[in-house]
Amino acid sequence: MGSLNGKIALITGAARGIGQAIALRLAGEGADLVLCDLNQEWLEETATKARALGRRVECASVDVSNADSVQKGVAALTEQFGRIDVLVNNAGITKDQFLLRMSEADWDAVLDVNLKGTFLFTKVVAKQMLKQKAGAIVNIASIIGLIGNAGQCNYAASKAGVIALTKSAARELASRGIRVNAVAPGFIQTAMTDKLTADVKEAMLRNIPLNTLGTPENVADAVHFLASDAASYITGQVITVDGGMVMS
């Protein structure tokens, strides 16, 4: 028996990287999956792997930053499954630049996907969870939202916003049986961090007490915990998965 047997989990940005690892971890624990990403085709790899674990999987092409796309995508998927027990807001982008050179378009794009996307999905899915009087929402933030980073004003602001949204939604929804938590990864080996130069990676390693980059599976483990009944008395929290970079 998996810890999520019989549960339905919706994961955004599930085509690759951390989102794919989360989807496969939750599927391995028995959850059926609703997978969303920009392009349905991109999700096929994740869907095929999850189906091989014996799970039911539906995919939808959804732009998390577009209210209409989110509304239609979630409505269609909820109709098919009848409920959503777990929502993981994982889709995210970076458009790094120093503050004085950052364009308004790059500011807006990052805030729209990372923060507004989390708001839009949380709003639509929470409506369904309110009917069920139960649900667990896990938002993927970042340690950059806690400590900031030169060249990432837009990204840091978006992830700090995700953390504040997590805490406020947790307070609003707790009495209705819905828990809202966040995971703040440090530096995780994915396409997002593959873009970094060897020098930057070496400098990062010097600041990681556990002296290694994290894996998407490390993040998925924390998400699984927060999504499961093992975390039934935990809401409004941020778990850092960062090899010890940020200690509060």
Q: Which residues bind ligand NAI (CB under 6 A)?
A: 12-13, 15-19, 37-38, 62-65, 90-93, 113, 140, 142, 185, 187-188, 190-193
Q: Decide whether 65 or 78 has the Cβ nearer to ligand NAI.
A: 65
In the complex, the smallest distance separating the C-beta of residue 100 from ligand NAI, rounded to whole angstroms, is: 23
Structure-token match 């999850």, residue found: 50
In the complex, the smallest distance separating the C-beta of residue 101 from ligand NAI, rounded to whole angstroms, is: 21
Q: Decide whether 92 or 135 has the Cβ nearer to ligand NAI.
A: 92
In the complex, the smallest distance separating the C-beta of residue 153 from ligand NAI, rounded to whole angstroms, is: 15
How distant, in Å, are the alpha carbons of 16, 60, 155 from that of 151?
25, 33, 9
Q: Are 178 and 203 in contact (CB under 8 A)?
A: no
Q: Which of 22, 18, 13, 137 is CA-nearest to residue 86? A: 137
The one catalytic residue among 107, 119, 155, 187: 155
- How far is Cα 230 from Cα 139, in angstroms, rounded to an integer? 17
Residue 155 bears catalytic tag:
yes
Q: Decide whether 62 or 84 has the Cβ nearer to ligand NAI.
A: 62
Q: How are strands ordered across the β-sheet holding 86-89?
A: 57-61, 32-37, 8-12, 86-89, 135-140, 178-185, 238-241
In the complex, the smallest distance separating the C-beta of residue 242 from ligand NAI, rounded to whole angstroms, is: 8
Question: Does residue 84 sit in helix, strand or coil?
Answer: coil
Q: Decide whether 174 or 203 has the Cβ nearer to ligand NAI.
A: 203
| Residues taking part in catalysis | 155
